[in-house]
Amino acid sequence: DQQVKQNSPSLSVQEGRISILNCDYTNSMFDYFLWYKKYPAEGPTFLISISSIKDKNEDGRFTVFLNKSAKHLSLHIVPSQPGDSAVYFCAAIRRDAGGTSYGKLTFGQGTILTVHP
């Protein structure tokens, strides 16, 4: 049961253009969403996050949009740079029935982004 889905295995973009990575989730109990970037032979590194009470969060070239009704979020990178080439993972956190969360992340399958010079 894949609760967090990234349906595009890969994305290729020209340098300077916008990269849009998409993520869908099925569990309405998720209340916090994150994007991680992963280079080969390294662990995932945190990029940007958004709470379910917001619909947009921006950090420099990176913006995350959340559409709760559609259970969809996206990551926009503008402008894209060759150094952005990596695997991008969408992740979600939910609280348990008691309202407790330990920061447990549920990940999507990842999207390989390639930015061409």
Partner 1 sequence: DAGVIQSPRHEVTEMGQEVTLRCKPISGHNSLFWYRQTMMRGLELLIYFNNNVPIDDSGMPEDRFSAKMPNASFSTLKIQPSEPRDSAVYFCASSLPNGGNTEAFFGQGTRLTVV
Interacting residue ranges for partner 1, rule: CB under 8 A: 31-32, 34, 36, 41-46, 49, 51, 89, 93, 95, 100-110
Whole-angstrom distance, CA of residue 59 vs CA of residue 105: 21
Shortest distance in whole angstroms from residue 75 CB to partner 1: 15
Bridge partners, residue 20, by sequence? 76
Nearer to partner 1, 10 or 45 (CB): 45
With beta carbons less than 8 A apart as the criterion, state whether 47 and 69 touch. Answer: no
Estimate the share of the chain in helix, then strand, then coil, as percent rounded to the nearest 5: 5, 55, 45
Shortest distance in whole angstroms from residue 85 CB to partner 1: 19
Residue with tokens 């290729």: 12
Nearer to partner 1, 17 or 46 (CB): 46
Shortest distance in whole angstroms from residue 51 CB to partner 1: 6
